[in-house]
Structure 1
Amino acid sequence: MYSSLVRLQNVFGLFTTVAFVVAALIAASDFITPRAPTVGTLKTTNVQVVNGRPHYYSSKKEEYAIIKFSLDADLSSLFTWNTKQVFVYVTAEWPSSLSSSSSSATKGGLNTTAENQAVIWDSIITAPSSDHLANIGPAAMKKLRKSAAGKSIDPSRGKLTLKNQRPKYQITYPSGKIAETDNVVLRLHYNVQPWVGILTWNQDRDFGSWKQLQGGLSKAFTLPATKKKATAAGGAKS
């Protein structure tokens, strides 16, 4: 006869096996759910380069860029019943002077090898099932829960419409000089964090029912000289 301890071990072993199989099936379900994120608009609305202290703890003055932008994106297909939250961020990217002068790594007149990358804005979009994790005030939380009542998937969560958005972070460079930098582009990134499964990032190519992010890159522009504002189009090149 089995002792009580052996029976308890068998029950626990069966439970962990079943839990692992269920978790694996949940994680695998993400791969059969279509993803087709798109970006309708991603463009600069105002670009400035200022000579000063970008942070209160900065020890010296240096050049830093302030990039305002507009964004219209539909990431609703990233939200499924297994989505916990989606981390979205916008980067400014530009090649080094050596790469920008090389024609071997260009595509459509734009250098595709961004050796410099800086985040200028980010946001966490929670799914209705994880609203309790959102770092927002009581009033905003009440409104959020009311909009998500009775919904396991809320497509409106993944729709972003930003007009003349101020950046959260300024761009600096180790040399302290960043004015008149060429071939700068804005790029949208996302990271899907599921309840069960692996973290997935924005894709460079199609993978089954998961499609590559469409339109997530802005036109190239040049950072202006110090204390000079760019045009409304952000100094975009034709």
Structure 2
Amino acid sequence: MYSSVVRLQNTFGFFTTVAFVVASLVSLSDFLSARTPTVDLLKTTSLQVVKGRPHYYSSKKEEYAIIKFSLDADLSSLFTWNTKQVFVYVTAEWPSLGSQNNTNQAVIWDKIITAPSSDHLANIGPIERKRLKKSAGGKPIDPSRGKLQLKNQRYKYQITHPSGRIASQEDVVLKLHYNVQPWVGILTWNQEQTWGKWQALKGAASKKFALPALKKKDEGKKNKTTRT
């Protein structure tokens, strides 16, 4: 009954119980920290619709949209001592034809913002890693992390549609999203309602806009003839 194996099992069971309790307390501590993310500016700066192959592996030509935007957001309150990294991304959304409930959504830009304690996990070069360590100054929380000031930001991904047509699409909106990945606990996404000290993301959507029509080759030739 009191063999070495039984004592080892009891010790291991006690250790896992303590570890689970500590992990639960660490996870619950996130709710004690206020989250007040805000977006002061999110707007488009350049719109273009082109017909071609958006990717090298595309089998056929299709219409795809190219969007540039400006963004001014403060997500620094999402970083606590339990934050590993924050995944931020911007989507373009527009309603589906013939349906009021379905919405098309496409990611045009994303970024992973690491906390000082997880900079060593980031897939970045030595110069950028040195800059991050310098900005943190050895602190577990860097107040400058999560402050995004982008002007005329170039897209990362073009927008396409299964139908192959996207020109002249109306009621398009840009939206900012985030996903907080903690060291211990569950993943949390951008919220539309306030939960205690966690405030809803304000100003996350841009004004509605319409994608431009596709330029025809004949129009381009006429413009050149007029100029000459």
TM-score (normalised: structure 2): 0.92
Q: 1:25-40 to 2 correspondence within 5 Å? A: 25-40=25-40
Gaps of 5+ in 1: 101-112, 229-238
Q: Residue 140 of structure 2 corresponds to which residue in structure 1?
A: 152
Distance 2:199 2:67 in 1: 29
Q: Residue 129 of structure 1 corresponds to which residue in structure 2?
A: 117
When the two chains are superposed, the root-mean-square deviation of aligned CA atoms in Å is 1.3
Q: Residue 205 of structure 1 corresponds to which residue in structure 2?
A: 193
Q: Residue 159 of structure 2 corresponds to which residue in structure 1?
A: 171
Post-superposition Cα deviations, 1:26-45, rounded to whole Å, max 9, x if no partner, equal 00001121101000000000
Cα deviation for residue 98 of structure 1 reads: 2.5
The total of aligned residue pairs comes to: 216
Matched, 1:226 2:197: no
8 Å CA contact 1:48–1:227 kept in 2: the answer is no
Post-superposition Cα deviations, 1:74-106, rounded to whole Å, max 9, x if no partner, equal 000000000000000000000023346xxxxxx
The percentage of aligned residue pairs carrying the same residue is 76
Post-superposition Cα deviations, 1:122-175, rounded to whole Å, max 9, x if no partner, equal 000000000011111111111111221221111211100000001000001111
Matched, 1:91 2:79: no
Higher relative contact order (CA 8 A, sep 6+): 1
Q: Which has the larger radius of gyration?
A: 2
SS of equivalent residue, structure 2 residue 145: helix
Q: Residue 43 of structure 1 corresponds to which residue in structure 2?
A: 43
Distance 1:188 1:202 in 2: 9
Q: For structure 1, which segment, 162-171 or 145-154, has the greater mean C-alpha deviation from structure 2 after superposition? A: 145-154
8 Å CA contact 1:38–1:73 kept in 2: the answer is yes
Gaps of 5+ in 2: 217-228
Distance 1:138 1:32 in 2: 35
SS of equivalent residue, structure 2 residue 151: strand
